[in-house]
Chain A
Amino acid sequence: MRIEKCYFCSGPVYPGHGVMFVRNDCKSFRFCRSKCHKNFKKKRNPRKTRWTKAFRKASGKELTVDNSLEFEKRRNIPVKYNRELWDKTVEAMKRVEEIKHKRQARFIMNRLKKGKQLEKEEAINEVKKNIHLIKAPHAGKAKKMEEKMVQKLQEDVDMGDEDD
Chain B
Amino acid sequence: MALYNFKKIMVVPTAKDFIDITLSKTQRKTPTVIHKHYQIHRIRHFYMRKVKFTQQNYHDRLTQILTDFPKLDDIHPFYADLMNVLYDKDHYKLALGQINIAKNLIDNVAKDYVRLMKYGDSLYRCKQLKRAALGRMCTILKRQKSSLEYLEQVRQHLSRLPTIDPNTRTLLLCGYPNVGKSSFINKVTRADVDVQPYAFTTKSLFVGHMDYRYLRWQVVDTPGILDHPLEERNTIEMQAITALAHLRAAVLYVMDISEQCGHTLQEQLELFNSIRPLFANKPLIIVANKCDVKKINELSEENQACDWLLAHRVDTKMKGKKVHDVLNRLHLAMPAKRDDKERPPFIPEGALMRKKAMEVDAPKRKLEKDLEMELGDDYVLDLQKYWDLMNEDERHDKIPEVWEGHNIADYIDPDIMKKLEELENEEELKERAGEYDSDDESEDEEMQEIRVLAKQIREKKQLMVAKSKEKDVHGPRMPRTTTKVERKKLEKEMSDLGLDMNDKDESHYAQQARRSRSVAKKRKREASSAPPTSKTRSQSASRPPRDQSGLRDPKMAKKAKKMMKNSQKGMNRQGKKGESDRHVFDLKPKHLLAGKRKSGTTDRR
Tell me the chain B residues, 408-430 only, with Cβ under 8 Å from chain A: 408-414, 416-417, 419-420, 422-424, 426-427
B401 neighbours in A (Cβ, 8 Å): 1-2
Q: Are B410's CB and A75's CB within 8 A?
A: yes
Tell me the chain B residues, 380-411 only, with Cβ under 8 Å from chain A: 387-391, 394, 397, 399-411
A83 neighbours in B (Cβ, 8 Å): 391, 394, 397
**From A88, which residue of chain B is reached at the shortest CB distance?**
B417
A96 to B423, CA, bound (A): 8
Q: Are B423's CB and A130's CB within 8 A?
A: no
Q: Are B498's CB and A81's CB within 8 A?
A: no
**From A83, which residue of chain B is reached at the shortest CB distance?**
B394
Q: Are A97's CB and B406's CB within 8 A?
A: yes
Q: Are B390's CB and A133's CB within 8 A?
A: no
A106 neighbours in B (Cβ, 8 Å): 435-436
**Binary per-residue interface labels of chain B (450-489) against chain A in the complex, 1 for a CB within 8 Å, 0 otherwise:** 1101101110110010000000000000000000000000
B500 interface contact, C-beta 8 A: yes
B447 interface contact, C-beta 8 A: yes
A72 neighbours in B (Cβ, 8 Å): 406, 410-411
Closest chain A CB from B518 CB (angstroms): 30
B564 interface contact, C-beta 8 A: no
A138 to B499, CA, bound (A): 8
Q: Are B402's CB and A1's CB within 8 A?
A: yes
**From B463, which residue of chain A is reached at the shortest CB distance?**
A133
A109 to B438, CA, bound (A): 10
Residue total for B at the interface (Cβ-Cβ under 8 A): 51
Chain A residues touching B, range: 35 or more
B3 neighbours in A (Cβ, 8 Å): none
B101 interface contact, C-beta 8 A: no
B293 interface contact, C-beta 8 A: no
Q: Are B390's CB and A102's CB within 8 A?
A: no
Tell me the chain B residues, 169-187 only, with Cβ under 8 Å from chain A: none
Q: Assuming the A-B contacts A80-B390, A99-B427, A123-B454, are A92 and B498 also in contact, with contact meaning beta carbons closer than 8 angstroms in the complex?
A: no
Q: Assuming the A-B contacts A124-B450, A134-B456, are A3 and B414 also in contact, with contact meaning beta carbons closer than 8 angstroms in the complex?
A: no
* Contact sample, A vs B, 6 pairs, CB 8 Å cutoff: A2-B401, A80-B388, A83-B391, A92-B420, A123-B454, A134-B497
Interface residues of A (CB under 8 A from B): 1-3, 12, 67-68, 70-75, 79-83, 85-86, 88-90, 92-97, 99, 102, 106, 109, 113, 120, 122-124, 126-127, 130-136, 138-140, 142-143
Q: Which 4 A-B pairs have the closest CB atoms?
A: A139-B498, A123-B454, A136-B497, A126-B454
